[in-house]
């Protein structure tokens, strides 16, 4: 069954060279009678088309890297509009096709030859007021050279108090990003919960904890002398504490099941995709052993007779 790709909403990298990719998209749109518009992302000044709203689009086409895809997912929000990520020479853990295959990807989209990964988000409240939704993660981090002091509660009870660099609360999707880099666990795509990973905790013992989709994480933040910063999906959303202010605030974080939809073509498992991109890699010792065995197999044996 064909899909009516009436409008393509572009979300583009702020600085990367995307002219060739845009030319391919424009040619495809003209050939298929589709309208092109640009879905604007906060802080993004680059303009490539007239503005359009996500709910007016058949698909959001994110041309860039993982940050661009996250921006598109954030704008897609709960509209149900799928996001198709195009990798422009980057790692592209969230992308579905490289720039060289953009025309083929749009053909498959129009042919309804795709599936959607339904993503959960994180609903964020600050001091009891809903302020944002994260697709990847929420990070509370020290603003200066000192430590940020956190009291982390889970489902109304204390989990740990920490003094260190901060904490990450991530979705299953976000568990392969900052959380994984901080030695947190990798969650399966269909895991409906979240993971809490402390950052460089000073002494004590506060391991990462995996929670269900019904849990609520509450973080009381004491920024100390130099303050704290809050980031949502890699973007700074609060950086208003300064030296000596010692502001305290509370974040309540819960799973929002009404997340965005990430378009996928080949049903590749998450682990397979991360291995293919080198995010997950075998031990160098085993790779060296494989290389030795391959070399030995190619070396002909010399037979000798006496």
Beta carbons of 82 and 116 less than 8 angstroms apart: yes
Could you give the C-alpha distances from 3 to 37, 52, 108, in angstroms and in order? 18, 20, 9
Which of the residues 66, 132, 201, 256 is marked catalytic? 66
Name 219's bridge partners: 152, 251
Per the annotation, the verdict on 17 as an active-site residue is no
Dist. CA 205–CA 172, nearest whole Å: 23
Full 3-state SS string of the chain: CCCCCCEEEEEECCCCCCHHHHHHHHHHHHHHCCEEEECCCCCCCCCCCCECCHHHCCEEEEEECHHHHHHHHHHHCCCCCEEEEEECCCCCCCCCEEHHHHHHHHHHHHCCCCEEEECCEEEEEECCEEEEEECCEEEEEECCCCCEEEEEEECCEEEEEEEECEEEEEECHHHHCHHHHCCCCCCCCCCCCEEEEEECCCCCCCCCEEECCCCEEEEEEECCCCCEEEEECCEEEECCCCCCCCCEEEEEEEEECCCCEEEECCCCCHHHHHHHCCCCCCCHHHHHHHHHHHHHHHCCCCCCCC
Sheet holding 228-232, edge to edge: 209-211, 194-199, 166-171, 137-142, 228-232, 235-238
Which residues are part of the catalytic machinery?
Answer: 66
């Amino acid at each position: 069954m064909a899909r009516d790709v009436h409008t393509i909403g572009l979300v583009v990298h702020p600085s990367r060279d995307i002219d060739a990719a845009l030319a391919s998209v424009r040619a495809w749109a003209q050939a298929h009678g589709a309208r092109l518009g640009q879905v604007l992302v906060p802080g993004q000044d680059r303009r490539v088309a007239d503005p359009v709203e996500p709910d007016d689009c058949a698909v959001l086409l994110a041309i860039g890297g993982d940050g661009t895809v996250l921006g598109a997912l954030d704008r897609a929000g709960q509209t149900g509009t799928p996001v198709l990520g195009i990798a422009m020479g980057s790692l592209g853990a969230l992308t579905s096709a490289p720039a060289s295959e953009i025309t083929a990807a749009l053909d498959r989209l129009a042919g309804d030859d795709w599936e959607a990964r339904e993503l959960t988000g994180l609903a964020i409240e600050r001091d009891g007021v809903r302020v944002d939704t994260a697709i990847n993660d929420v990070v509370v981090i020290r603003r200066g050279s000192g430590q940020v002091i956190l009291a982390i509660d889970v489902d109304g009870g204390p989990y740990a108090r920490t003094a260190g660099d901060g904490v990450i609360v991530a979705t299953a999707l976000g568990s392969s990003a900052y959380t994984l880099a901080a030695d947190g666990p990798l969650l399966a795509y269909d895991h409906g919960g979240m993971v809490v990973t402390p950052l460089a905790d000073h002494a004590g013992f506060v391991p990462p904890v995996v929670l269900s989709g019904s849990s609520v994480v509450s973080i009381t933040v004491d920024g100390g002398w130099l303050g704290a910063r809050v980031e949502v999906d890699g973007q700074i959303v609060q950086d208003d504490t300064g030296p000596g202010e010692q502001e305290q605030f509370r974040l309540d974080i819960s799973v929002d099941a009404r997340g965005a939809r990430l378009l996928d073509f080949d049903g590749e498992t998450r682990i397979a995709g991360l291995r293919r991109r080198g995010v997950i890699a075998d031990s160098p010792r085993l790779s060296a052993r494989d290389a030795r065995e391959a070399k030995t197999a190619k070396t002909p044996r010399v037979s000798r007779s006496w």
